[in-house]
Structure 1
Amino acid sequence: MKNKIPVKSVDDTFTNVENINDILDQVATKEASADKSIGRFMLKSIMAGVLLAIITVFMLAIKTQFHGVNPGIVNLMGAFAFSIALVMIVMTRAELLTSNFMFFTVGLYYKTISMSKVAKIFALCFLGNVIGSFILFALMTGTKVMTPEMVSALSNTVAAKTTETTWHAIMIKAIFANFFINMGIFLAIQSKEALAKVFFIAIGVVIFVFMAYEHVVYNAGLFAGMMFYNIDALSWIDVLKNIIFAFIGNYIGGGIFVGLVYAYLNGRRDDYIRL
């Protein structure tokens, strides 16, 4: 007796339709928030910036207080510490620019949102993220949390990301950074259990931080910290270079290599219509 092999259609290859529906639902929610409640949208963006900045300080404390321990171990500890920020941001539905790259590219692919709306949301989100970083570091100046050793570590990190690197190195590392971050978020969307979501979100961040890849919002937070603690060491043209090419690279890594790829793999552009 011969077994029959079922004939498959292209539709059978769309394995993550449910996840794409979830992403498009979140795109619509974010758009409504930015259009009809801009204050709330900005507050969520500011909260994301605060969370990134405060965990940045935590990571600097780890790297300085464990000075003398194997550098690889300390770097890994810092990477795990920093992953807490993205877990908190995603689980509280705060608005982080770099994760929105994936979401809104999917929305653009399926034509559920216009390019002008996306540009507006990206601008508001980035502004809010940066404001959050400034608020955190402004508050830190009223404490002794930032030790001289931490300020020195901050200055060295910023120098490595600005004056000591090139634009193409920044862009390539930014592609890798947001590819891993958004891949983790995409996997988390597929997970039903909270712990599984936390694991997938965190693992992408651990990779990007451990490998010292470039993340435009994290970098902007570092620059905000420098403005309060060591502004004279900033090279503004190199700061601008980092922000521009980290932004471009992050969009390619998260928006194109994750958002666009999986949108294409999981449906046709005319499978959805805007109501």
Structure 2
Amino acid sequence: MVAVTPILWLTTIILLSFVRGSSSARRFDRRSDLDYIPPINASAAAGWAVPLQGSNTCDPHKACTDSLSPPPSGKPLQYLAIARGLYMYLCPGGGPREVAKFQSQSTQLYDAAPLIQNLPNEEAFHALPAKLHDFDYEQLKNSTLECLGTIGTVNDTAIVTLFDIATFEALPYESVLPPDDPGSNGRWTHSVSPKRDWDIYRVEVAGGTPPICDNTQFMAEEEYTAEYWFFYSGGEDLWTPNNIKREELVDPKDMPAFI
């Protein structure tokens, strides 16, 4: 993992003073020297490639794989975000062998452009989610990072809202175990919008794994940080009915609604 110098970490910490919870404001106060930075800027990551290589994953009735499939050719990167979020799980309390059930997610997406220009290379960017997972954002003030959207759960479906751009369902397509510490870090995922205009990758995940259940019924909040890569081919792809059957995309038992 690439080391980040103290100066760069100070810059990153200032930029990444997130506000926890789903009620985060769309725009936070920005220092005047950051006003020239566009709120959404995928060009800052020109030449970068979304990480795809995870760990070996074997799902029932499917072949084993250790990598997500690459973005479709001709579908460029539009938005790159660092995310801070919560997954809600329910332990049913039926015994220690019961599996925690996903309930909902609340995720804030922050434009990565201000971070990219202050980091030495792509590897340093990929190292950020793990470093930032345990950071106490609530102790910092004067956030300077732009919140470009959110991910929530409606009727057991992930809904992506990119402010003033689009709102659409995101349906799980494939996933792999993370390359490091799968017991603590969530899977890497590739999701798609119903009309396949959007491809969304959640990678470099830190945290977010389901709790270990016992005989007690309880709800658990699991925090996570991750990179989100949004590839887009054009079209509105708003939250409208579609002809794609969800079972054609993923086995619901294999991967619930969170992305």
Relative to the length of structure 1, the TM-score reads 0.25
Relative to the length of structure 2, the TM-score reads 0.26
Task: Report the structure number with the largest CA radius of gyration.
Answer: 1
Higher strand share: 2
